[in-house]
Structure 1
Amino acid sequence: MIRLEEYKEGEVVLPEGELGKGFCILESGVLEVIRGGRILSEIDMPGAIFGELSELLSLKRDAVIRAKTPSKVRHIEESIASIVDKNPKVALKLLRTLGRRLYRMNRVAIRQDEDSNIFEKADKEVVDETANSNKVRILIVDDKPNIIKQLTDIFARSEWVVESAHDEASAIRACEHHGFSAILISMALPDETAVDLRRKLKTNHNVLNTPVLAMIVKGDEPALKKALNSGFSDCITKPFDANKTEAVMYKVMDLDSSARYFKFVDDYLYFKVPEDLSNFVINDIKENMDNRIRNTINEGIVKLIIDVSELEEPSEEAIEVVGEFAEKIEDMKLPMRGAIVATGDDAEMWNNLDGCEEWGICSDLNNAKEHLAQEAVSEEEEE
């Protein structure tokens, strides 16, 4: 019996724990192989066979096959022995499928063995890799130097490490060397390079679970549809809006986006108000305020520095953001000592905001640190 089934994103194609019969053929879409909540691999090649091992080995399925994108799957619900008896060519196709899997497993084993041989690494590489091990690493695949430069400048704001590749071959080589936090591929690369590369990267153990994003021109709906249907995690549009691009990247990498504005430095919370206070940025800051205040309390930090020095003048938007943040701290009756880094003739006006009346107005960050340290000494002397 043969039946063609359509699956929506997230629907289970083959459940775990059942004893299977026959096999399945992917007609279209992208499927995920999941074991223990972890994505092991993807199936995205039309005509790919899967689900046959359960019957061949008489074992219950130990992984879930789930649709990553809307997919069509042909279920062959007949014993493999019976199918092969009727059509011997099926046996050859099954052998090729198993052979390709074994080949990929051997490649992974070889790479892992090479990576474990630290004696083959130069001392400088070891030092550099250690220094960058905790940093976000982004791979940009595009043949346009200007695009790579623009994205590199955007990601530098978050201190992310950026590498680039100009074609499929160089991208694959980069991923064979080490993993990445995210990969961006231009949909404008020749032919089907972007889609083919995304599929090939999902067989590389270094980036198997890495989000892969498509870069498309704003308004190019066919490219957007193609990217999402091909299994890309998300899309960023050209020309780039720095804040929106960063927001998408933080989301797909599951990072705390508030790190763009709030940081713990030494023993104080540092809030840098960006020069570009668009509605998008303002909303992003406000959405993260409560969480950052809670984290500050959990860390036992009682010092706060708000840096507005990048602003040419105190705009209404900046006053709104700083004022709301200060009011939240005051309303929660937190024993925090504050300082504001501000320059220009209007610097003193920040003391007019509710909650900021007693805060020090400082010319630079070092001055703000000294001010807070002196306040702490004065409080101890009074006690």
Structure 2
Amino acid sequence: MIKLQEYKEGEVVLPEGELGRGFCILESGTLEVIRDNRVLSEIDMKGAIFGELSEILGMKRDATIRAKTAASVRHVEESIADIVSKNPKVALKLIRTLGRRLYRMNKIAPRGDSDFNIFKKADGTKTLDTTDNTIRILVVDDKPNIIKQLTDMFAKSDWQVEGAKDEQCALDACEHSHYSAILISMALPGDTAIDLRRKLKTNHRVLNTPVVGMIVMGDQAAQKKALDAGFADCITKPFDQNKTDAVMYNVMNLDSSARYFKFVDDYLLFELPTELSPFVINDIKENMDQRIRNTINEGILKLIIDVSSLEEVEEEAIEVVGEFSEKIEDMKLPMRGAIIATGEDSEMWNNLDGCEDWAICDNLEEAKESFDREVETEED
């Protein structure tokens, strides 16, 4: 008996601990193999066979198969022995499937996960090499200007970019390096982008690395093609800093609020970006409470708000700073503050609730010195 079943993202296809019968065939989508809350591998190739070991070995399943994306799966609920006796070609495909798995595990075993860095937690967070937390991004595009634009853009987040002009260069790079994300232009000749993504998923170093498509704004056909092929998401050309950052932070499971809030020495630095788009404003507001809690937890009682990068001080900026300072005041935190602002109207920031006694400074060094002056005044 064969039945086709549809699964939503996150639904379990085969549960761990079950004694299986038959096997399954992936028709579409991407599945995750999970054991001990670790994602061991992904299944994303149409026609891939999985779930057969339970019956072959006569053992309960030792891993859970879960839908990473919406997926279609054919469940073949018939004894493998009966199937093979009717169709010997099935046996050959099963042997090849098992052979590929054995080859993969033989590659991993001698050096371990700490070297290949392929396993991640089932909740999506990676098991990173703690000795090097550098974010490295591989950009695959035959247009040097695109690679340069992304290099400059990601440098603002201290991310490193490596460029690859074609499929082979990308494959060679992934043989020797780990990446936090891989960006592939959907405009590469033919089906290069799709083929490259498929080949990357056979490389143990980047097996769980998110692959993002680069498309021209408005090219919905290219976006659909990428997402249907298993790309994690897409960014659009020309690149918008905020939207591109949003996608990258999301696919890499990073805290996007780190772009605005940073712990430096013994103070919290809250930097407003040059432009406050609706997305940025919403991102800041969503993370305010958590950042304040983190600040309290760290025992930090100094706050510097830097608004000097704003091209124009408009109502949105005043609202964001005002809401942040009000939250601190409402919580009655004994926090000392300073604001970095330039221009004739810089003093107006003292009109905000909670900011009345804060120092207005021209730069970061002056802001830090203002805290020292306050201490000296208190001692006198």
Normalising by structure 2, report the TM-score: 0.89
- Give the 3 Å change call, closer, same or farther, for CA 371–54 of structure 1 in structure 2: same
Q: CA deviation at 1:4?
A: 2.9
Q: Which residue of 2 aligns with 1:209?
A: 208
Q: CA deviation at 1:109?
A: 4.1
Q: Whole-Å Cα distance in 2 between the matches of residues 20 and 285 of structure 1? A: 48
Q: Which residue of 1 aligns with 2:58?
A: 58
Q: Which residue of 1 aligns with 2:175?
A: 176
Task: Count matched residues.
Answer: 368
Q: Whole-Å Cα distance in 1 between the matches of residues 6 and 26 of structure 2? A: 10
- Give the 3 Å change call, closer, same or farther, for CA 312–221 of structure 1 in structure 2: closer
Q: Which residue of 2 aligns with 1:23?
A: 23
Amino acid across the alignment from 1:88 = P
Amino acid across the alignment from 2:188 = L
Correspondences of 1:113-132 after superposition (within 5 Å): none
Give a deviation string over 1:113-161, Cα, whole Å, max 9, x none: 9969xxxxxxxxxxxxx99812222222222222212222221111112
- Give the 3 Å change call, closer, same or farther, for CA 26–115 of structure 1 in structure 2: closer
State the SS of the aligned residue for 2:46.
coil
Q: Which residue of 2 aligns with 1:360?
A: 359
Q: Whole-Å Cα distance in 2 between the matches of residues 5 and 347 of structure 1? A: 62
State the SS of the aligned residue for 1:199.
helix
Q: Whole-Å Cα distance in 1 between the matches of residues 78 and 29 of structure 2? A: 24
Q: Which residue of 1 aligns with 2:87?
A: 87
- Give the 3 Å change call, closer, same or farther, for CA 86–317 of structure 1 in structure 2: closer
Q: CA deviation at 1:303?
A: 1.0
Q: CA deviation at 1:321?
A: 1.9
Worse overlay, 324-333 or 264-273: 324-333
State the SS of the aligned residue for 1:20.
coil
Give % identity: 75
Correspondences of 1:102-113 after superposition (within 5 Å): 102-109=102-109
Give a deviation string over 1:79-135, Cα, whole Å, max 9, x none: 22222222222222222222222222233346659969xxxxxxxxxxxxx998122
Give a deviation string over 1:267-317, Cα, whole Å, max 9, x none: 011111222112222222222222211111111111111112223453322
Q: CA deviation at 1:176?
A: 2.3
> Is the helix fraction higher in 1 or 2?
1
Q: CA deviation at 1:347?
A: 2.1
Q: Whole-Å Cα distance in 2 between the matches of residues 134 and 28 of structure 1? A: 34
Q: Which residue of 2 aligns with 1:47?
A: 47
Q: CA deviation at 1:53?
A: 1.2
Normalising by structure 1, report the TM-score: 0.89
Q: Whole-Å Cα distance in 2 between the matches of residues 89 and 172 of structure 1? A: 32
Is residue 336 of structure 2 the alignment partner of residue 337 of structure 1?
Answer: yes
Give a deviation string over 1:307-331, Cα, whole Å, max 9, x none: 1222345332222222222222222
Amino acid across the alignment from 1:54 = S
The answer to whether the Cα contact below 8 Å between 1:330 and 1:355 also exists between their aligned partners in 2 is yes
Q: Which residue of 2 aligns with 1:300?
A: 299
The answer to whether the Cα contact below 8 Å between 1:41 and 1:202 also exists between their aligned partners in 2 is no
- Give the 3 Å change call, closer, same or farther, for CA 363–224 of structure 1 in structure 2: same
Amino acid across the alignment from 1:150 = Q
State the SS of the aligned residue for 1:219.
coil
Give a deviation string over 1:180-221, Cα, whole Å, max 9, x none: 222222222222222222222223222222222222222222
Q: CA deviation at 1:345?
A: 2.0
Q: CA deviation at 1:242?
A: 0.4
Q: Whole-Å Cα distance in 2 between the matches of residues 23 and 316 of structure 1? A: 60
Over the aligned positions, Cα root-mean-square deviation in angstroms equals 2.4
Amino acid across the alignment from 1:79 = S
Structure 1 residues not aligned, in runs of 5+: 117-129
Q: Whole-Å Cα distance in 1 between the matches of residues 104 and 170 of structure 2? A: 18
- Give the 3 Å change call, closer, same or farther, for CA 58–131 of structure 1 in structure 2: closer
Q: Which residue of 1 aligns with 2:38?
A: 38
The answer to whether the Cα contact below 8 Å between 1:4 and 1:73 also exists between their aligned partners in 2 is yes
Amino acid across the alignment from 1:64 = T
- Give the 3 Å change call, closer, same or farther, for CA 136–64 of structure 1 in structure 2: same
The answer to whether the Cα contact below 8 Å between 1:69 and 1:229 also exists between their aligned partners in 2 is no
The answer to whether the Cα contact below 8 Å between 1:41 and 1:203 also exists between their aligned partners in 2 is no
